[in-house]
């Protein structure tokens, strides 16, 4: 059981911090960048859970939308578990690989394989991709897209320290990014939302100026009435 009675220590006032083994390093060190990015990702998953809870679960006729309940159950179970696993990973990243304590819980192959099993389960209900997907959508969808990009940033920071971390930890994070992408698509599909697809340059219609001018002309016509 963890017992924390005091958060501030003043030990980092000069820009240094302690690793799990007690060694001191600067807060600009790449290892601390990994830990901080892992923490940032964890916090964003908390925001994703908040957005899931905010989904309107009522039909226009007042009935309950069962799909919303399904999303809440799945996301609550899955994202809460991932948050705990990321906390374990953050602790591992805050410790040199050759001095990881025996008591420390580490993400393992079972955790990594579970991500693939869940991706396969969600993917069965999804239409094949025919274009790239834009990172946008309703609240939980947009936040999960952002979480995916931060996972890739975490992966890049880990690759820069590849010789100093367990290969399995890197494998887990690589799979987690794909996992978030599939979960995002599954949430969007279950909600019945259309995904926003990338449009090739030759097919884009940028009429923002013309649209603005028409709106202004219409407003002036109304004002003249």
Q: Say what the pLDDT of residue 44 is.
A: 98
24-81 tens-digit pLDDT: 777 877 788 999 999 999 999 999 999 999 998 877 666 678 899 999 999 999 999 9
Residue 208 CB neighbour total at 10 angstroms: 8
CA pair distance 161, 165, nearest whole angstrom: 7
pTM: 0.84
pLDDT score of 208: 73
Specify the pairing of strand 24-26 against strand 16-18.
Answer: antiparallel
Q: Where are the alpha helices (DSSP H) in the chain?
A: 30-54, 66-93, 109-123, 139-159, 167-190, 208-224
Q: What is the CATH number of domain 16-199?
A: 1.20.1200.10
Percentage of the chain exceeding pLDDT 70: 86
**Residue 167 phi, psi (nearest 5):** -55, -35
Domains of the chain, residue spans: 16-199
Query: Using one digit for the tens of pLDDT, what is the confidence trace for 137-169?
Result: 889 999 999 999 999 999 999 999 999 999 999
Residue 91 corresponds to which tokens in the numbers above?
């602790």
Residue 64 burial (10 A CB sphere; 0-12, 13-18, 19+): exposed
pLDDT over 90 at 131, yes or no: no
């Amino acid at each position: 059981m963890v017992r924390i009675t005091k958060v501030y220590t003043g030990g980092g006032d000069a820009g240094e911090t302690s690793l799990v083994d007690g060694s001191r390093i600067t807060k600009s060190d790449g290892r601390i960048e990994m830990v901080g990015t892992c923490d940032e990702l964890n916090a964003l998953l908390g925001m994703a859970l908040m957005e899931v809870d905010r989904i309107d679960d009522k039909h226009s006729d007042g009935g309950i939308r069962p799909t919303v309940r399904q999303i809440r159950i799945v996301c609550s179970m899955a994202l809460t578990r991932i948050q705990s696993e990321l906390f374990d990973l953050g602790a591992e990243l805050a410790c040199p690989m050759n001095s990881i304590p025996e008591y420390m819980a580490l993400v393992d192959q079972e955790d990594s394989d579970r991500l693939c099993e869940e991706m396969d389960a969600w993917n069965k209900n999804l239409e094949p991709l025919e274009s790239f997907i834009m990172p946008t959508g309703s609240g939980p969808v947009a936040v999960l897209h952002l979480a995916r990009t931060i996972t890739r940033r975490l992966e890049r920071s880990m690759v820069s320290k590849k010789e100093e971390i367990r290969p399995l930890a890197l494998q887990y994070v690589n799979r987690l990014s794909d996992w978030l992408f599939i979960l995002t698509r599954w949430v969007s599909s279950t909600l019945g939302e259309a995904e926003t697809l990338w449009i090739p340059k030759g097919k884009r219609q940028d009429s923002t100026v013309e649209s603005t001018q028409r709106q202004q002309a219409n407003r002036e016509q109304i004002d003249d009435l």
